[in-house]
Structures are given as structure tokens and as C-alpha cells.
Structure 1
Amino acid sequence: MLPLSHKEMLIKISAILLVGFLALAYEAIKPPPPRTCGSPGGPPITGPRIKLRDGRHLAYKEHGVPKQLANKKIVFIHAFGSSKHDAVIVSSLPQGLVEELGAYVVSFDRPGYGESDPDPHRTAKSIALDVEELADNLGLGPKFYVIGYSMGGQSVWGVLKYIPHRLAGATLLAPVVNYWWPGFPSNLSIMAYKWQPKQDQWALRVFHYLPWLTYWWLSQKWFPTSSVVENNPAVFSPQDLQIISNMVDDSDIQQSYVRQQGETESIYRDGIVGFRTWDFDPLDIDNPFPNNEGQVHLWHGEDDRLVPVILQRYIAQTLPWIHYHEVKGAGHLFPYIQEVTTDVIKTQLLG
């Protein structure tokens, strides 16, 4: 065998280095597998779950009156970085009001959160079908209410699109918007997008254009990633900060449960699902209650610094069948204010 020339040797070494670099890069962007509840070495299963159509399990928690005695049945969809234990639509109400209204509420861990199995194929449609299966497994009847907060509020759009025939009513609380929904005028969505901190603008671009890079982007420590993921107080309004200061400091315990299966299929997946291209435009949804047999309500804070209010106002103008409520001086955390949440639940159930 003839010895390699100097040029051939350099080419071979360069090729080896390139392969090594690509291997390291792949490992850096490849997320670790989730620690599924009940699997060997995974977190334990501590509460009730149902088995879904595709074999996944969905963990849930019941509140209010027993469902067999209830005349109002509600499915609550939790926010980003939250869980079935954070059913703000119940916890923020005066004691006894849920029972007085005859309401049964079930909250559930969205896929990958808490004790619900991850769903790497999660979409707005799959969440809607999860809600329907949960309701059917628990025997909630042909129609029920759905209430969602923040990222859970965004999920309600999928419910309105895919299972409107199952709804007695729906409420969206400070729902997250997707700046790439085609129904928004480009000048308006660009303006709202640019109101976000620079680091959040970059995170949104990654979610939308480079979802395969999400794990590396949100886990690296070289530069700021996402204000929400980092719990940066700069994104909260003065009212939000006051609400946070009054909360019981059990955030470490809560987040341990929320992220126990890993961040990739919980909070990171939320960003991808929320801001990628959707297979429908919420601004094209038809009125689910053409005969006024139910109502859809959208509540938003005037001073919400996470989700721009100008986009919610446009949605309300475009979809006149939505009952829009703007909470004066409120930020993103207004559902934690007892008086407001009391209005929310009474408006939906008694309106």
C-alpha cells in the first residue's frame, strides 16, 4: 500500500474532525429521553389516570361537587409550566362557590407534564381529542364546559375547532397567541412581536422555524433564552408582581412535579406546539353556538406584558360571536384575583 500524500492526509484528518464535530453537535441538540412515570427509574404514579386512544395515559384531578350530582361539568386546561394541581379556576374562588354553583371541575396534566405520558406528536388537534376522551372516560355527558388559562387557553382554540359539538360553553383566559396565525394583519402581528424582549423574539423564531434546535437553545447557558422559561420578572406587570409576592412560596415543590418527566416534552414542547405553523387559523373558526345555545368568553388583561392585548382585541373584532372582557389594569396573572375569577365562572355558568 502506498503511503498517503501530505494533502491526502490533511483531507482525511479534516474529514475525521468534521465527523467528530457533527457527532458532538448532534449530541448537543438531541434531547434526553423523558423519564416516563411508572417506568423503571421514572417518577411514581400517585393519582388517577385514564388510558387514551394511542396507549398514552392522562393524569387528572377532580374538584367541586361529585360529578353524578353536578349540573355543570367543566374541563380545565392548565397554563405553561403548571399542572393539574394549579386549577386556578377553582383555587381562586371563594370557598364554597363551586359547590353553590353545582359545578364539577376536572383538571388534567397536559402531555409530558406531571404524571401524563409525553406525546412527541402533540398538536392543537391532539389536545382537543385528549379533552374529549377525558370527558368520555369520566362520563361527563354529551356536553361540557372547557376553560383554559394562558397556554391552556390557547389549547381551547383546538377544542373550538375540532370538538365544538361537545361544548356547553368555553372560556379562554389570557390565551397565548401565535404571531404566525395568517388571520392577523402582518403589520399588527409584527408590531406585537417586536414588543417582546429580544431574547423572546429569538426563542419564538426557534420554536417556529427551527423546532429541532429547541432543546439546545433553551438549555444552553451562553446567552439569555426565554423570559418565561427563565422566570424573568421583567415580563410581568406591576399587578402581576404584587400577585406573585402574595403567593405561597411552594414553587420548588410545584416545579419538581411539573417537570419530573423532563423539560423536553413538557415546557419545551409547549413552545413548539404553540408557535409552529398550525393546520388551521383560529380567526377562521365558525361560531360553535349559532343558535345561542352556549357562549364563548375571552378574558384578557389590559396590561398583559406576556401576551399583547392588541392581538386579542383584533380576534374579538374578527370573531363577533366571542364575548370579550378586558380587565382594566390587569396583567397576565389576573385569574389569581378572586373577584375576577368569580366574575369569570359566574359569567360562563350563569350567563
Structure 2
Amino acid sequence: MADVARSRSTSWRDELMSLVEDTGVIFTDETLGISTPFMEPKRSDFTVRDINDGELAEPESFKDQVKEFAKAWGEMFLELGKGVKDIVQQSLLTDDSYIVIKCKGPIKKAGSRLRFLNDYLPEDRDPVHSWSVIFCVFFVALAVLMVNTKRDHVVSLVKKISTHPPSATRMLLPDGRYLAYLEQGVSCSTARQHVIVPHSFLSSRVAGIPGVKASLLEEFGIHLVTYDLPGFGESDPHPKRNLSSSAQDMLFLANSLGIYDKFWVLGFSSGAMHAWAALNYIPDQIRGAAMFSPMINPYDSSMTKEEISKTWENWLRRRKMMHYLARRFPKFLSYIYRRSFLSGKHGRLDNWFSWTLGNKDKGLTEDPRFEELWHRDVEESIRQGNVKPFIQEAVLHVTDWGFKLTNLAVRKKCPRKGFFTWFTFMHSHTEAECQWTGFQGPIHIWQGLDDQVVSPSMFDYVARVVPSIIMHKLPDEGHLSYFFLCDECHRQVFLTLFGTPIETTTTDEETQLLDIGATTKEQSSV
């Protein structure tokens, strides 16, 4: 029985071993015992290396942090875009949405008409994807071409604005302000004609009559006086100035210089605004006026709708915007002015003023003499670096002047008939006489027919409201060409205003009398 049991156990072991592959391990006949477990401390996977054994791990740099931060933001925006896309598809692009109902029909018609273009696409390409890529490439190429065409011209070096030492003569006004002025030509005591010139926007006393020769002024006996408007050049600013105060400054300047007789006033472009004010507020002191391409208020209520539309139609959009800002939001002009002529760098006149120049004006602005004169005038004009006087000047141009140009028209004003008139007649036994109103002196205007700055509609409006004005139409002349650096033009203007100059010849007896008079004057002064 024991043999049978041993054979059975042996056969069982053999069968089990036949199922398991030979591992090559040989077990001995030693009794297998159960050993006591040995507990070893488990080491952490994170070990700190010794400094001597190797280098420390480098900390994450700021650049890497920025990259990860940008990457995270990009992923957030991507998810946001997907969410917006889902919202649009679920709310706006459904069959019952307002946009789909209104646009589905036109888009379907346009798509059916343009479907033949899909024949030119590859067969394995989605038309929607293909056309979106084509349009994107087209717009990018168009933008590049537009940028290149604008920069084809040679970029000129930008000239910085220089500051010159003070050179003006100044006088004290009754309100405590100082007014800077410049005298040219003959002296005040020997002058046959006195001419006072208020300058235009972004100009100064330096301009006067640009390029006029001293010999020409002496030939006609002209005492030419130019002055800086308040806040321009070396004149003190006036916080509450208007066109009435401008006329009073002109009158006080004339009296202080000893011009007790009537004088002429000359205005160019926007400087004509101050000439118009002088004709209205101090007409008894003005002998006459000469204006070159004079500007008027484009919002004048006396203009007809047709005159207003013709005035604005040829202007650039930027110029229209500047007038609108000056009238409605003048504080915004400070930012624009500081980025243009108050930026410390010179620029082109037509860019700063948003003007369109004619052929002669373009040729004039390329003349080195004009560039030198223009730069010197601008440097003197912005000497103080204060933006408020320029804003004041721009606002004065487009707001109510305090008077109408129709007030300057010569009219006969008679007293109205009524009880008061009858009572006055019965009391004084004299009938009230009619009086002439308006400015009765000569007003000359020179206007270029190729002027792109002051439109002909302004010219026609002034002629309509002031019929006594003497018009001088100049074919092929622009806004600047007849007034700047033109000797023959200046002579022709003086001949028109003052007539042929008188040639003074003195005999020996007259010379002796003059010497005696001068000696007596010196002795009396001593």
C-alpha cells in the first residue's frame, strides 16, 4: 500500500513538472523553512545629489515662464473661440434666426451664380476652404501693395525746429500784456502810407509780406508794421481774446507808433479774419484794406446752402474734421497740434493744414527760398510752445465773429417814420437826415482762380454780400503763388493801392531849408 501511495505521489509530481518549463533551478532536499521577514526602509525616488557628485537642476527661467503663460492664454482664447463659435452656430446660424432668414436667399442666389468658379478648383479640395484661403491671400497681397506704393518716394531727412534768441520790439498794452511788432520800410514820420499786417495761422511778424524788398517799400514810401497775435511769437497770450480785442490791439499799436492818420490793413488767408474785424470795429481809423485769398467763416449763416456745399465739397476729409473739432470739440485739437507743428520737427505745409495745392503752389513750396522762409516763420510762431493760442485762433475762425460781413456793405440808412420822428421834427424843426453805414473805404481782394484752399464759392459770397469790393481775379494763380516771393506781384499791388510813386527832387534852397530846420530842432531838443 505504501508503494502504491508513493507511486501515485510520484506520478502527480511528474505530471505537474511536465506542465512547467525547466527554469534551471535545482532544489535540494534540505527542509524549507519560513524565514522571519526583514523590514528595510523604503527610499524615496527624490534624492538630493551632493554638490561634489554633480550639478544642481537649473531653476525655470523668466523666459520659460512667459512662454508657458502665453501658451496658457493662447489655449484659453482658443477654447473661448470655440465656445463663441458654438454659440453663434446654435443661436445665430439656425434656420429660424433673423440673420439666416434675411441673408439666406441673397447668399443662395449669389452662390448659384458664382458656382461656375468651382470648376477651376482641384476636385479633391473643399470649395469653402479653398475660397477662404484665396480671399485671405488676396487681401494680404493688396495690403502689401498699398503700403509699398505709399513708400516708393525717397524719404527726406526730417529737420528739427530751432529756437532763436528774442529779437522783437515789444510794447505794453493797457491790460498789462506785451505785444511784439516789427517795422519795415521807411520811418513812421516820413511815410506816405502806413500798412499794418496781422499774420495768418501758424505764422508770425516775421512773415509780413513774404519776400518784399526794402527798396520797393522805400520807393512807395511805405511804413510796414507786422505784429505777433496774442500767444504767437513774442507776444503775451490773451486768455479771453476775440475779434473785437484783436481790433483794439491793432488800434493801440498804431497810436503807440505815432500813426495818427488813417492806415491800410492787409490780410492773407486766415489773417484776413483780423482785417475784417478792423473794418467792422475801427472803421474810422482804416483808410482801406487789401486781402489775398481771404478766408471766411465756413459756418456763416448768411451763406446759402449752395454756397456752403460748394465751399466744403473740394476739401479733404481731414480738413473738414479739423473744422468740426474746432467748432464742437476744440480740446481734441491739442493732441493733433502736438503731433504736427508742436512735435519739434518741421513738416510740409499742405500736410499740416490738410490743403490741396495747385500747380504753381506746388512749385513754390519746392523752392529753397520758400522752405527757408516757411521754417523760420514757423519757428518764430511756436516759440512759446503753448497750444492754447492756436486752439483760440482755430475756434475764432469757425465760430460767431460778433458781426456779419453784410455789415460792411455801404447802405443808406434813413430814420423810420413814426411818432418819435415826428416829435423830434416838431421840437427841433429839422428833419432827420439819412446816414451812410458800412465801410466806405476801398477793399481790394486778389484771388487766384487755381486756388484749391479758398474755393471760388467764398469769392462769390463775399462779392454778393459786399458789392463795393474791388475784385482782382488771377488766372493760373494759387493760394500762395501771388503773395509769396513775387517782386512783380508786390509792385503791381502797390501800384493798384497807392498809385504811381512820387519822385521827390529837392533844390539847393530846399536842402538849405531842411538843414536849417534840422539844426533848429536839435537845438530845441537840447
Under TM normalisation by the shorter chain, which class is it?
A: 0.7 to 0.9
Equivalent in 380, 395, 399 of residue 276 of structure 1: 399
Give the Cα separation in 2 of the matches to 1:202 and 1:128. Answer: 29
Superposition deviation, residue 217 in structure 1: 4.4
Where in structure 2 are the equivalents of 1:1-351 lying within 5 Å? 45-88=166-209, 91-93=211-213, 96-219=215-338, 230-231=351-352, 235-248=356-369, 249-250=371-372, 251-287=374-410, 294-333=441-480, 334-336=482-484, 337-350=486-499
With 159-168 and 170-179 compared, the bigger mean Cα shift is at 170-179
Give the Cα separation in 2 of the matches to 1:230 and 1:161. Answer: 33
SS of equivalent residue, structure 1 residue 170: strand
Larger radius of gyration: 2
Q: Mind listing any 5+ residue stretches in structure 1 that lack a counterpart?
A: 1-41, 222-226
SS of equivalent residue, structure 1 residue 88: coil
* Bigger proportion of residues as helix: 2
Cα distance change of structure 1 residues 172 and 234 upon mapping to structure 2, 3 Å threshold: closer
Query: Identity rate of aligned residues, in percent?
Result: 26
Give the Cα separation in 1 of the matches to 2:439 and 2:394. Answer: 34
Give the Cα separation in 2 of the matches to 1:278 and 1:292. Answer: 17
Superposition deviation, residue 146 in structure 1: 0.7
Superposition deviation, residue 228 in structure 1: 5.8
Using the size of structure 2 for normalisation, the TM-score is 0.54
Give the Cα separation in 2 of the matches to 1:162 and 1:272. Answer: 20
Superposition deviation, residue 299 in structure 1: 1.3
Give the Cα separation in 2 of the matches to 1:134 and 1:74. Answer: 12
The amino acid across from 2:475 in the alignment is: K
Give the Cα separation in 2 of the matches to 1:174 and 1:242. Answer: 18
Q: Is the 8 A contact 1:81 1:267 kept in 2?
A: yes
Q: How many residues align?
A: 304
Q: Which residue of 2 aligns with 1:33?
A: none
The amino acid across from 2:470 in the alignment is: H
Residues 48-78 of structure 1, C-alpha deviation per residue, up to 9 Å, x if partnerless? 1111122111100001111111111111122
Residues 260-284 of structure 1, C-alpha deviation per residue, up to 9 Å, x if partnerless? 1125134332211111222211233
The amino acid across from 1:348 in the alignment is: L
Q: Is the 8 A contact 2:197 2:267 kept in 1?
A: yes
Superposition deviation, residue 210 in structure 1: 2.0
Give the Cα separation in 1 of the matches to 2:182 and 2:221. Answer: 17
Q: Is the 8 A contact 1:60 1:106 kept in 2?
A: yes
Give the Cα separation in 2 of the matches to 1:234 and 1:274. Answer: 16
Residues 269-309 of structure 1, C-alpha deviation per residue, up to 9 Å, x if partnerless? 22111112222112332339979973111111111111112
The amino acid across from 1:279 in the alignment is: G
Q: Is the 8 A contact 2:337 2:387 kept in 1?
A: no
Cα distance change of structure 1 residues 124 and 228 upon mapping to structure 2, 3 Å threshold: farther
Cα distance change of structure 1 residues 232 and 125 upon mapping to structure 2, 3 Å threshold: closer
SS of equivalent residue, structure 1 residue 151: helix
Give the Cα separation in 1 of the matches to 2:495 and 2:437. Answer: 22
The amino acid across from 2:197 in the alignment is: F
Give the Cα separation in 2 of the matches to 1:263 and 1:203. Answer: 19
With 276-285 and 106-115 compared, the bigger mean Cα shift is at 276-285
Superposition deviation, residue 247 in structure 1: 4.0
Q: Which residue of 1 aligns with 2:32?
A: none
Give the Cα separation in 2 of the matches to 1:240 and 1:193. Answer: 20
Using the size of structure 1 for normalisation, the TM-score is 0.79
Cα distance change of structure 1 residues 142 and 287 upon mapping to structure 2, 3 Å threshold: farther
Residues 104-137 of structure 1, C-alpha deviation per residue, up to 9 Å, x if partnerless? 1111111111101112322121111111111011
Q: Is the 8 A contact 2:229 2:235 kept in 1?
A: yes
Cα distance change of structure 1 residues 293 and 178 upon mapping to structure 2, 3 Å threshold: closer
Q: Mind listing any 5+ residue stretches in structure 2 that lack a counterpart?
A: 1-162, 341-347, 412-435, 501-526
With 112-121 and 208-217 compared, the bigger mean Cα shift is at 208-217
Q: Is the 8 A contact 1:67 1:140 kept in 2?
A: yes
Which has the bigger relative contact order, CA under 8 A and spacing at least 6?
Answer: 1
Cα distance change of structure 1 residues 346 and 136 upon mapping to structure 2, 3 Å threshold: same
What's the C-alpha RMSD, in Å, of the aligned pairs?
A: 2.7
Give the Cα separation in 2 of the matches to 1:238 and 1:263. Answer: 34
Q: Is the 8 A contact 2:170 2:181 kept in 1?
A: yes
The amino acid across from 2:317 in the alignment is: K
Cα distance change of structure 1 residues 180 and 293 upon mapping to structure 2, 3 Å threshold: closer
Cα distance change of structure 1 residues 308 and 322 upon mapping to structure 2, 3 Å threshold: same
Q: Is the 8 A contact 2:410 2:438 kept in 1?
A: no
Q: Is the 8 A contact 1:127 1:158 kept in 2?
A: yes
Superposition deviation, residue 157 in structure 1: 0.7
Give the Cα separation in 2 of the matches to 1:196 and 1:291. Answer: 32
The amino acid across from 1:349 in the alignment is: F
Give the Cα separation in 2 of the matches to 1:160 and 1:232. Answer: 27
Q: Is the 8 A contact 1:80 1:151 kept in 2?
A: yes
Residues 206-236 of structure 1, C-alpha deviation per residue, up to 9 Å, x if partnerless? 1112223321344468xxxxx9684368621
The amino acid across from 2:246 in the alignment is: I
The amino acid across from 1:231 in the alignment is: W
